[in-house]
Amino acid sequence: MSSKQWYESLFENFANKYENESFTQGTIGECDFLESEFDYNKNLNIIDIGCGTGRHSIELTKRGYKVTGIDLSEDMLNKAKLNAQVAGVNITFLKHDARSLTFNKEFDCAIMLCEGGFPLMETDEMNFEILKNVSNSLKDKAKFIFTTLNGLFPLFHSVTEFLNENSVNGGTTYKSTTFNLMTFRDYNITTITDDMGNEKRLNCNERYYVPSEITWLLKSLGFSKIEIFGAKLGAYSRNDKLTTEDYEMLVIAER
């Protein structure tokens, strides 16, 4: 059996530390935005891809929506189930690889937030497979909302400086080794301390996308309306025009 990919090792025994990372602190504001995009329709069937410890799934369920959460990491899912129990909500959490989903036109909306899967795969083909499977999971009239890494950002900024400035004290540290202009992949060494107190050094690579690529990929999957905005932590907004200052972009696709 092949060795684990970095994104599999990253999320092993990391659920508690993950919830303390700065980028997981915007749940309430993000769900406020999602609700407005759902037109407050509580009859929608929603899938949360790369749900992690369930923060968006749980908050939306508390607000009356029906959500199914999927993730590749068993550790993260176990924490999600525990969190749902503590919150007193009933949610279906399933272990799935987003590259091989088998849902067929079952959901009205899909959310995929905080780079839980899409830009992390080791090839562009695998990343596209995730988008394709999400598309197949959605009904003919549906909305797909996700965030991904903004390829305009590393052209103007140091990814290492940005990530380390936004890391919680004593939390994850990043050292970018190469940003490849031909592939838009950032190769970096990420150092974390897991929930057991073990330090891990992971050789990671993440794919940054430019807006025109995302638009083309989604159009090829049958989405007719694609809008892209800046993605501010906990404050998603259609008024937030994407710029080179945005580390992430927010994508809203409809068909």
In-domain check, residue 47: yes
- By CB atoms closer than 10 A (0-12, 13-18, 19+), residue 19 is middle
> What angle, 0 to 180 degrees and rounded to 10, lies between the N-to-C axes of helices 27-37 and 55-62?
60
In-domain check, residue 178: no
Number of domains in the chain: 1
Segment among 74-88, 186-200, 230-244 with least mean pLDDT: 186-200
Determine the pLDDT at residue 31.
96
Give the structural domain span for 109.
Answer: 6-151+209-254
CATH number at residue 145: 3.40.50.150
Determine the pLDDT at residue 190.
78
Task: Answer whether residue 57 shows pLDDT above 50.
Answer: yes
Q: Which residue has the tokens 């995730």?
A: 130
Task: Report the largest interatomic distance among the alpha carbons of the chain, rounded to a whole angstrom.
Answer: 48
C-beta neighbour count of 216 within 10 angstroms = 11
pLDDT digits (tens, 9 = 90+) for 2-16: 468 756 666 676 666
In-domain check, residue 10: yes
Q: Mean per-residue pLDDT for 34-40?
A: 97
Q: Mean per-residue pLDDT for 89-105?
A: 95
Determine the pLDDT at residue 1.
37
Q: Mean per-residue pLDDT for 41-53?
A: 96
Determine the pLDDT at residue 120.
87
Segment holding 103, helix H or strand E: none
pLDDT digits (tens, 9 = 90+) for 166-195: 655 446 665 666 889 999 998 888 787 777
SS3 of residue 32 by DSSP? helix
In-domain check, residue 236: yes
Write phi, then psi, for 14 (nearest 5 degrees).
Answer: -130, 5
Determine the pLDDT at residue 8.
65
In-domain check, residue 90: yes
Segment among 2-11, 155-164, 225-234 with least mean pLDDT: 2-11
In-domain check, residue 23: yes
State the Cα–Cα distance between residues 134 and 47, nearest whole angstrom.
9
Q: Are 51 and 71 in contact (CB under 8 A)?
A: yes
Q: Mean per-residue pLDDT for 95-120?
A: 93
Task: Answer whether residue 225 shows pLDDT above 70.
Answer: yes
1 vs 109, residue with greater confidence = 109
Determine the pLDDT at residue 2.
46
In-domain check, residue 50: yes
- By CB atoms closer than 10 A (0-12, 13-18, 19+), residue 224 is exposed
Q: Are 187 and 205 in contact (CB under 8 A)?
A: yes
Percent of the chain scoring above 90 in pLDDT: 65
Tell me what the pLDDT averaged over the chain comes to: 88
Q: Are 114 and 50 in contact (CB under 8 A)?
A: yes
Work out the pLDDT band at 247, boundaries 50, 70, 90: very high
Task: Answer whether residue 196 shows pLDDT above 70.
Answer: yes
In-domain check, residue 175: no
